[in-house]
Structure 1
Amino acid sequence: MNRVICDIKDHSLADAGRNRIDWALTEMPVLRSLQEQFTREQPLAGARISGCLHITTETANLVRTLKAGGAELLLCASNPLSTQDDVAAALVEHYGISVFAVRGEDNRLYYRHIAAALDHRPQLTMDDGADLVSELHKNRRDLLSDVIGGTEETTTGVIRLRAMAADNALTFPVVAVNDAMTKHLFDNRYGTGQSTLDGIIRATNILLAGKTFTVVGYGWCGRGIAMRAKGHGAHVIVTEVNPLKALEATMDGFRVMPLLEAAVCSDFIVSATGDKHVIDRSHFQVMKDGCVIANSGHFNVEINIPALQDLAAKTSRPRRFIEEYQLADGRRIRLLAEGRLVNLAAAEGHPATVMDMSFANQVLSIVHLWNNGKKMENKVHPVPGSIDDKVAIMKLAAMGISIDTLTQEQQAYLSSWQEGT
């Protein structure tokens, strides 16, 4: 058995963490099936994997599956506020997995933990935001020759990795798990939609019905947030820079306008763009008194927090996850969860059901890289269609849903061009 090393908050939390991990697994039938298959087949025997991920109950079941397949794992956190300390303890104490993650860790400790993950000399990487891969290329280049490939879980990380590839800086292939159809259609839309509102409601306990709720960005995550806010009875506004997405939001029944206009009347503003300072000083200067602002993008740069701090005459903490900034004219702006991922910082992240598909993609993509990475080009690759289809088929089967299949006649018709009207 591999030696377990760690830096976690409290080992005594392990039993509570195991109970929650087992609870999540009841909603993850695809991963359960893969665990059984991996235990028999050992497709990752001998693989060293370092993961920079959100340390949650669902992630625990992801790494349990990889370990069942023979992998040697070390985990660190991909966000200082997303670690569930009881889960970290359970992974170390009950599942023999090395973990370096403490909820609330400062920037110095965060990067020290990433360094520990790299000290593992990974052959495969798993990232959520690309900090592990970025640090590997910037400061630990001596390790690059060991790396066969990696996976990336979120939009922000895929954007960073594509920029690296465009600069010819990426030295190994990465599979964009985020872009799998069974990931962004369900995890990003239904998972982010529900968990973001869950975080906002837990943090504020403010009724959404009748409030004006602005969503900044109408990608898959923004679509989900807008959909769920509308379901709560909120009046939803969408702001966008992409004309096609703005048109789609309009056709979906949402009001679309510039954020500078929306800020004047919004009770809630939530960003989900993957970009920097999308909620900025100019918006704070006209924002409605009492407006709640939150971020559901990966990094805490979507809200220009330094500008908000500069404008504030005083600050207070009325509730655990709320920092209230009072401006010179008396208006109050309420920032949730330090501008970090509100669904993980103020709640528990995505429901296990959707993460079942996302992490099944992650697991199968890791096996794909282990078997094929040395032959793949050093760029960002899509999840193979066969993996996407397999995950969908397994999920449908677990839900007890059957679908039709094409007849030979129908298959022949779709593959030919001769037959017309």
Structure 2
Amino acid sequence: MNQIEFSSLVRSISQTTNRSLAGARIWVAPDFQSVRPHNFEEAANEWGMRLFFNDSDRSLCAIELHDTFATVDGEKVTYSHDCLCDSLQSLRTEDKSAAEKINLAYDGMPVVRHITDEYVKSGVLQDERIAVSLIIEPKTAVLLLELQRAGAQVAVYATAAEVHQAVADELKERGIGVYADSQWTPSQEHAAALQLLDDMKPTIIIDDGASFARLAQLERPNLVPAIRGVAEETTSGVRAFEAMEASQALPYPVIASNDSQLKTGFDNVHGTGESCATTFLQIMDDNYPLESGTMAVIGFGPVGRGFARRMRSLGARVVIVEQSATAALKAQYEGFEVMPLSQAALECDCLISATGVYHTIDLPVLQKIEDGTVLGVIGGIANEIALDDLTAITHQDISPAVPLTQLDLGNGKSARLIASADGMNYTVSSGNPIEIMDLSFAVQLNAIRMLIENDGELEHRVIRMNKDIDEQIARSALAARGAEIDESQTLVTDWTKTRFSTSSHSSTKSQEENSHA
């Protein structure tokens, strides 16, 4: 039997189940040995997978690998070995309803459930009006429904590219205000966002990219005084709010949920890094020579680092483009080649933007790249690739089954554009894994509580959450995974004790003894 390629294995499991490979406990059956990838253990370690080979460990594992199938706990989803390298379309075939997908996500989010149980008892969210601007998919649906269960009035907005329509329809049936549709034009999206603000008059906003809160301030300033504050999900959003703070234009406190260790260290590195890697594999299966290509990852923050390390483990040559000398040095110390973007545009056949910064890949770069270069975004803001600077954008679908278009650059050359330059993991696939979003949304729930319990006392600035909150969430997550750790000890440091204390004391004592002799 032929060996399974590791890239096919991770792509199949990730894209079919939306389960996290990072942190996953995987039982490797004896019969899998004949088909296992040649670099299985090394690559699995790089992806954060824990492998178990003994029968006694089988009950601990959520995923099983056999020569003919893999199983995942709960639904026992199976994958035929013969189908692991099948086309994109067959891999994306899903037979579950929106309600079933939401229920699967709910089962995989124990920390969010635990926090919501506390909020139901305390009534802390009772009658709050919470506007949410996030991708509408099953995991977000769990957050919305849990906020509703805790007593809040809840409404959600998303752009058309961020809407899983069946999930949106299911949320409407369950009483969530949905101001989004997968078929809307930009003008309809804009009108819907304003309508949500007018209808709800929110007291709290959960934002993604600071777009919704800034819309309220710029176009509905009369509603701003009622807003207790904002919980911001993304790096790009925190940057925008910090700019507002610097300009003394921030009219409420903003909790930087993004800056929590459980957001940046898990959602960004393992969630986005992993899901973008497997989405890239899904899209580019027959469209990019992974082991012979040269990929530039622009930005070596948590997202770029997580993506770059995974792609390198699959055999790709990955170079890093960075403006931060510190980040570039980190990349070098992790074994990556570093080069300027102008050089990467000429030498690399794939450019992936991981910055969340407007015009990361600007027009001069687009004019330099070679014909057929692949362009993609994992940072996730509008025009991270400067499509708005191209005088006439001509798209041509390369294949109806693949979200890959040929982009005419107007200079006789063309590029291959992934997912219309939107964030590839959430526009093409199911977004970040369920277990990862359990942590991120747990942070958001705590950010909301922080805004409510400290209403009127917080300064109008960007505020980082207390590290104790991260510890509480992490302990809850560890408990849900059956792990135990030692209780933290409060250490009181006597600053007068130094490395010289003992020798100094001995010397003084010796001198005293000699003086008495």
TM-score normalised by structure 2 residue count: 0.74
Instruction: Label 1:104 to 1:323 Cα distance change in 2 as closer, same or farther (>3 A).
Output: farther
Quote the sequence identity (%).
33
- Does 2:192 match 1:113? yes
Report what 1:306 is aligned to: 388
Q: Deviations over 1:72-118 (max 9, x none)?
A: 111111x431111111111111x311111112422111111211221
- Does 2:70 match 1:70? no
| Displacement over 6 Å in runs of 4+ | none
| Displacement of 1:213 | 1.4
- Maintained 8 Å contact 1:21/1:61: yes
| Displacement of 1:386 | 2.3
| Displacement of 1:37 | 2.6
- Alpha-carbon distance in 2 for matches of 1:32, 1:209: 42
| Displacement of 1:288 | 2.8
- Give the counterpart letter for 2:230 in structure 1: G
- Give the counterpart letter for 2:172 in structure 1: V
- Give the counterpart letter for 1:87 in structure 2: V
| Displacement of 1:195 | 1.4
Instruction: Label 1:371 to 1:191 Cα distance change in 2 as closer, same or farther (>3 A).
Output: same
- Give the counterpart letter for 2:352 in structure 1: V
The 5 Å alignment of 1:200-219 reads 200-205=280-285, 206=287, 208-219=290-301
- Maintained 8 Å contact 1:202/1:347: no
- Alpha-carbon distance in 1 for matches of 2:114, 2:375: 40
| Displacement of 1:327 | 5.1
- Does 2:115 match 1:34? yes
Report what 1:5 is aligned to: none
- Alpha-carbon distance in 2 for matches of 1:405, 1:185: 22
- Alpha-carbon distance in 1 for matches of 2:175, 2:488: 46
- State which of 139, 146, 155 in structure 2 corresponds to 1:58: 139
| Displacement of 1:329 | 6.7
Report what 1:7 is aligned to: none
- Does 2:454 match 1:381? no
- Maintained 8 Å contact 1:284/1:308: no
- Alpha-carbon distance in 2 for matches of 1:275, 1:164: 16
Work out which structure has the larger RCO, using CA pairs closer than 8 Å and 6 or more positions apart in sequence.
1
- State which of 427, 434, 454 in structure 2 corresponds to 1:352: 434
The 5 Å alignment of 1:176-191 reads 176-191=256-271
- Give the counterpart letter for 2:162 in structure 1: S
- Alpha-carbon distance in 1 for matches of 2:411, 2:157: 43
Q: Deviations over 1:365-421 (max 9, x none)?
A: 10111111321111111122222111111111111111223556xx23xx3312233
Larger Rg, first or second structure (1 or 2): 2
The 5 Å alignment of 1:58-137 reads 58-77=139-158, 79-93=159-173, 95-119=174-198, 120-137=200-217
- Does 2:260 match 1:260? no
- Alpha-carbon distance in 1 for matches of 2:350, 2:105: 30
- Maintained 8 Å contact 2:298/2:304: yes
- Alpha-carbon distance in 1 for matches of 2:337, 2:390: 26
- Does 2:314 match 1:232? yes
Alignment partner of 1:285: what SS? helix
- Give the counterpart letter for 1:360 in structure 2: A
- Maintained 8 Å contact 2:233/2:258: yes
Report what 2:231 is aligned to: 151
- Does 2:370 match 1:288? yes
- Alpha-carbon distance in 2 for matches of 1:235, 1:366: 42
Q: Deviations over 1:171-190 (max 9, x none)?
A: 11110101101100010011
| Displacement of 1:225 | 1.2
TM-score normalised by structure 1 residue count: 0.90
Instruction: Label 1:398 to 1:135 Cα distance change in 2 as closer, same or farther (>3 A).
Output: same
- Give the counterpart letter for 2:181 in structure 1: V
- Maintained 8 Å contact 1:290/1:334: yes
- Alpha-carbon distance in 1 for matches of 2:387, 2:210: 22
| Displacement of 1:326 | 4.3
| Displacement of 1:228 | 1.4
Report what 1:44 is aligned to: 125
- Alpha-carbon distance in 1 for matches of 2:254, 2:428: 30
In structure 2, runs of 5+ residues without a counterpart are 1-95, 500-517
Alignment partner of 2:170: what SS? helix
Instruction: Label 1:381 to 1:345 Cα distance change in 2 as closer, same or farther (>3 A).
Output: same
Instruction: Label 1:402 to 1:264 Cα distance change in 2 as closer, same or farther (>3 A).
Output: same
- Maintained 8 Å contact 1:173/1:373: no
Number of residues paired by the alignment? 399
- Maintained 8 Å contact 1:148/1:172: yes
| Aligned-pair Cα RMSD in Å | 1.8
- Alpha-carbon distance in 2 for matches of 1:277, 1:45: 42
- Does 2:301 match 1:249? no
Alignment partner of 1:18: what SS? helix
- Give the counterpart letter for 2:264 in structure 1: H
